[in-house]
Chains A and B, each alone.
Chain A
Amino acid sequence: MTRPGSGWYVGTLARAHALTPTARSLVFTVEGWPGNEAGQHVDVRLTAPDGYQAVRSYSIASVGASGEVELAVDLLPDGEVSPFLVEELEIGDTVEMRGPLGGWFVWKPEETRPVQLIGGGSGVVPLIAMSRAHTSSASAAPMRLLYSLRSPADAFFADELSAATATVETTRHYTRTTPPDWARRPGRLTADDLAEATLPPADGPLIYICGPNGFVEVVARAMIALGHAADHVRTERFGGI
């Protein structure tokens, strides 16, 4: 599905639940939604009564051909759009969405090579979609997720990722606070952490890295330094907008 973004749809909020104290899952029913691939995003547009518009990109957590689009939005304190989506948007309210968008940061089930996903904070969202696509397509390709987050309370889709039926092996890395009996101390992801927790270069995995700019920069460089081919690495940077 590599045709360009196909115009604006109207999404109606059907379900919502808190993922963490600051993040919310939003499930929209979208009339006419053509479905999306794992890793794609939408541009969400909000219009104020005076006509002012704000547009922000959000990765889609859901995947496939259903008429529903699930987003996972983290509240940014200085944000203009995320506070509204996390704290104010009500069931039945509508937003406009353009998509599905993106052809680069996408994983397709036809892909048979091993996959290493590395997500920092809310960067895990498109990787969740990839993990769901992996499961629902019964892919035989090994897929691993390294999820870097501040503390256990910040985990998105924790139950889903740790479920017995999960087909993707998830390793967590905590940067600020660990659970009580965690073997390691909290801290930034290092090259050694990456070497230990990710598929080795010899396996030739495709690598998808998503998260804040600094995280992506450091991790991408480290993976290449470990010996992974640069053209196996795809990145998506999230910003503070």
Chain B
Amino acid sequence: MAVFGGRRREENAAVPPGQHLTDGFPVLSAGPTPEIETADWDFLIRTESGTTHRWDWDELQALPAEDITVDIHCVTSWSKLGTSWRGVSLDTLFADVETSREFVMAHSYGGYTTNLPLEEILDGKAWIAYEYDGDALDPEHGGPARLLVPHLYLWKSAKWVRGLVLQDDDEPGFWEQNGYNMHGDPWREERYA
């Protein structure tokens, strides 16, 4: 009798509950892949006062960047350990941002949105990443740049990110409006609402 499924119960403590390891890097899409030239790209942070902090590609590249190695976890149950990225910490981008709001909505080229508490993207927890595994980030994986928030499920790491808007309340983004968890902590298996 043939038995389906090569998913072994993971003994690895680095793998959250309900996840399994993958060697590949699956491409998941909710829509057509945006094609953004870096010459046309910019990233912005908009606060409640209407102030917009903006960086174009060259300005982003000129900021101090970090090489980081992190584990990533997709809500569809695959996890990938030790992935290498290069990007700018959100702490760097928020250095001069004044806000009293506690939540952000990440907006992407192509219309995708996802919501996060501000404290979940500061203090070394998040980056605007533009390189993966030593190469420029592929459009299929969110290039030219994506938000990277590895301690939450990967749908919070908005591909093709174009800006963060500070919001008063934790308004739901795309998947959150469709039954997924507002927070998305893989260690608590916060998958669905």
Task: Tell me whether B5 and A92 are in contact (CB under 8 A).
Answer: no
> Given A50-B9, A52-B77 in contact, is the A89-B2 Cβ separation under 8 Å?
yes
Residues in chain A near residue B1, CB distance under 8 A: 90, 92-93
Q: B62 in the interface, Cβ–Cβ < 8 Å?
A: no
Residues in chain B near residue A90, CB distance under 8 A: 1-2
Q: A104 in the interface, Cβ–Cβ < 8 Å?
A: no
Q: A88 in the interface, Cβ–Cβ < 8 Å?
A: yes
Q: How long is the Cα–Cα vector from A48 to B4 in the complex, in angstroms?
A: 5
Q: How long is the Cα–Cα vector from A50 to B77 in the complex, in angstroms?
A: 12
Q: How long is the Cα–Cα vector from A88 to B4 in the complex, in angstroms?
A: 9
Q: How long is the Cα–Cα vector from A49 to B2 in the complex, in angstroms?
A: 11
With most chain A CB atoms within 10 A of its CB, the pick from B7, B9, B77 is: B7
Residues in chain B near residue A89, CB distance under 8 A: 2
Task: Tell me whether B3 and A49 are in contact (CB under 8 A).
Answer: yes
Interface SS of chain B: helix, strand, loop or mixed?
loop
Interface SS of chain A: helix, strand, loop or mixed?
loop
Q: A47 in the interface, Cβ–Cβ < 8 Å?
A: yes
Task: Tell me whether A47 and B4 are in contact (CB under 8 A).
Answer: yes
> Among residues 48 to 76 in chain A, which have CB atoms less than 8 Å away from a CB atom of chain B?
48-50, 52, 54
A177 to chain B, nearest CB (A): 30
How many residues of chain A have a CB within 8 Å of chain B?
13
> Among residues 1 to 22 in chain B, which have CB atoms less than 8 Å away from a CB atom of chain A?
1-5, 7, 9
Mask: chain B, 63-78; 1 = CB below 8 Å from A; 0 = not: 0000000000000010
A45 to chain B, nearest CB (A): 10
Residues in chain B near residue A50, CB distance under 8 A: 5, 7, 9
Residues in chain A near residue B9, CB distance under 8 A: 50
Task: Tell me whether B2 and A84 are in contact (CB under 8 A).
Answer: yes
A102 to chain B, nearest CB (A): 23
Task: Tell me whether B4 and A84 are in contact (CB under 8 A).
Answer: yes
What residue in chain B is nearest A87 (Cβ atoms)?
B2
Q: A46 in the interface, Cβ–Cβ < 8 Å?
A: yes
Residues in chain A near residue B77, CB distance under 8 A: 52
> Among residues 10 to 63 in chain A, which have CB atoms less than 8 Å away from a CB atom of chain B?
46-50, 52, 54
Residues in chain A near residue B2, CB distance under 8 A: 84, 88-90, 93
Q: How long is the Cα–Cα vector from A90 to B3 in the complex, in angstroms?
A: 10
Between-chain CB contacts (< 8 Å), 9 pairs: A46-B5, A47-B5, A49-B3, A52-B5, A52-B7, A84-B4, A88-B2, A92-B1, A93-B2
A47-B4, A48-B5 known; 14 new pairs, CB 8 Å cut-off, are: A47-B5, A49-B5, A50-B5, A50-B9, A52-B5, A52-B7, A54-B4, A54-B5, A84-B4, A88-B4, A89-B2, A90-B2, A92-B1, A93-B1
Shortest 6 CB-CB contacts between residues of A and residues of B: A48-B5, A88-B2, A46-B4, A90-B2, A48-B4, A89-B2
User: Which residues of B does A touch, CB under 8 Å?
Assistant: 1-5, 7, 9, 77
